[in-house]
Amino acid sequence: MIKSEILDKRSICHALISSTRNPEIIIPVKAVIDDVFFDENIPTYILRIIKVYDNIHFLKEFLYNTPYLTNHKGKSKPLKIPKFNTTAELETWFSQKTSYRFCVESNFVVKTKIEMLDLFHRIQEYIIYKELRSIKRSIMRSSYNGPLKVNSKIDYNERIKRAFGDKFKNIEDLNSFIDSI
């Protein structure tokens, strides 16, 4: 059982919501807890979104018409959201004009924005590393002869150094990053 602090109904929280279609796309939000359900292993919160920490272009691609779990023990369903031009309009609609609520497991719900952003960054980093490993495997396959073909691990690592070298403070951190993928 995952142990996490149980937050009160009607309290403000920060959470990471994800679609049932693509769970690796996570959206950081600020929300109000409408209800709490206690399942066998982990509590589930029913959240009403009041703030979204992403830009409208990302949200239009990954929130609109995408299935999310919106009721406890129910089926996920695509969200029918009117077209908005700003996140502020979307936030107003979520907080005041819709009955959509999101079911989120308690390990993705925290009290503060700092905790939520820390969790978000750790998950995003894991996903990025996983995708880079997958790309590495795909472009180094002997049967692949496309324009992105890389013949060796050394060549791949050099390309990664050129792409991300400026993001690291020193060469040791960069080499540690490359070794981890």
pLDDT digits (tens, 9 = 90+) for 57-97: 999 988 888 888 877 667 787 888 888 899 999 999 888 88
Which of left, alpha, beta for 73 (phi over 0: left; psi -120 to 50: alpha)?
left
Give the end of a domain, one of 80, 112, 144.
112
- Rounded mean pLDDT of the chain? 88
Q: Do residues 82 and 170 share a domain?
A: no
Give every residue of the chain whose pLDDT is below 50, as ranges. 1
Name residues whose C-beta falls within 8 Å of residue 179's C-beta, 6 or more positions apart in sequence: none
Q: Do residues 103 and 150 share a domain?
A: no
pLDDT at site 42: 82
Q: Do residues 61 and 146 share a domain?
A: no
Q: Do residues 138 and 176 share a domain?
A: yes
Instruction: Supply the range of the domain harboring residue 34.
Output: 12-112
118 domain-assigned: no
Half-sphere exposure of 7 (CA within 13 A, CB side): 25
Q: Do residues 142 and 102 share a domain?
A: no
Q: Do residues 137 and 82 share a domain?
A: no
119 domain-assigned: no
Q: Do residues 67 and 36 share a domain?
A: yes
pTM attached to this predicted model: 0.83
H-assigned helices in 12-152: 56-62, 87-92, 113-139
How many domains are there within the chain?
A: 2
pLDDT at site 72: 66
